[in-house]
């Protein structure tokens, strides 16, 4: 019985994943894509991407600016904004419009629509392919004879981890 409880606990904590793997994969993909496309992955661009990938939380430009200062004393806002523009153009990051913040893209090796699940509690953003949702929207747009330029859907709510930690803490309180 205790064994069973331990197993469940372990499975649960495994959703708190080894994030260094996410970051390394993203940086590696960025290096590969930039060299394939013949664009330069300069130190400032890399630095900004690494900062964005420090977590799955969306980060605002001025927070990036604050955090880059200790690394690069002379980083001017314009330099950071240009680096962000580059990363957006290359599809390495996304802008979360509703938060006016940036997040790393998990599928940067191909162009795609974005279904972003924004947790209002921990501010983590999960990017999902959301193919069925996007197909339905494409049909709707076709009926409306509306030519879309880009598709990004942001949904605000509570992520699974926050929901389960608040329900377990309320259980503990009872």
On whether the CB atoms of residues 54 and 23 are closer than 8 A, the answer is yes
Segment (H or E) for 99:
none
Please pick, from the candidates 12, 19, 32, 76, the single residue that binds Zn ion as defined by CB under 5 A: 19
Using rule CB under 5 A, residue 27 touches Zn ion = no
Instruction: By CB under 5 A, name the one of 49, 68, 105, 116 that touches Zn ion.
Output: 105
Interface region with Zn ion, contact rule CB under 5 A, candidates 12-20, 69-77, 78-86, 137-145: 12-20
The answer to whether 122 contacts Zn ion (rule: CB under 5 A) is: yes
114-119 and 125-128: which strand pairing?
antiparallel
List the 152-157 sheet strands across, edge first: 125-128, 114-119, 152-157
Q: Which of residues 35-94 bind Zn ion (CB under 5 A)?
A: none
Structure tokens of 67? 């955090």
Per CB under 5 A, residues contacting Zn ion are: 19, 22, 105, 107, 119, 121-122, 159, 162
């Amino acid at each position: 019985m205790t064994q069973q409880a331990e197993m469940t606990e372990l499975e649960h904590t495994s959703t708190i994943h080894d994030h260094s793997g996410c970051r390394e994969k993203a940086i590696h993909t960025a290096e590969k894509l930039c060299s394939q496309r013949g664009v330069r992955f300069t130190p400032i661009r890399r630095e900004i991407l690494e900062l964005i990938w420090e977590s799955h939380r969306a980060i605002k430009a001025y927070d990036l600016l604050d955090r880059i200062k200790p690394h690069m004393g002379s980083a001017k806002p314009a330099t950071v904004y240009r680096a962000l523009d580059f990363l957006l153009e290359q599809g390495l990051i996304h802008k979360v419009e509703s938060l006016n913040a940036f997040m790393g893209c998990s599928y940067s090796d191909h162009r795609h629509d974005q279904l972003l699940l924004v947790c209002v509690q921990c501010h983590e953003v999960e990017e999902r392919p959301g193919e069925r949702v996007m197909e339905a929207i494409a049909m709707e747009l076709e009926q409306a004879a509306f030519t879309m330029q880009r598709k990004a859907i942001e949904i605000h709510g509570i992520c699974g981890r926050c929901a389960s930690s608040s329900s377990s803490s309320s259980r503990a309180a009872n």
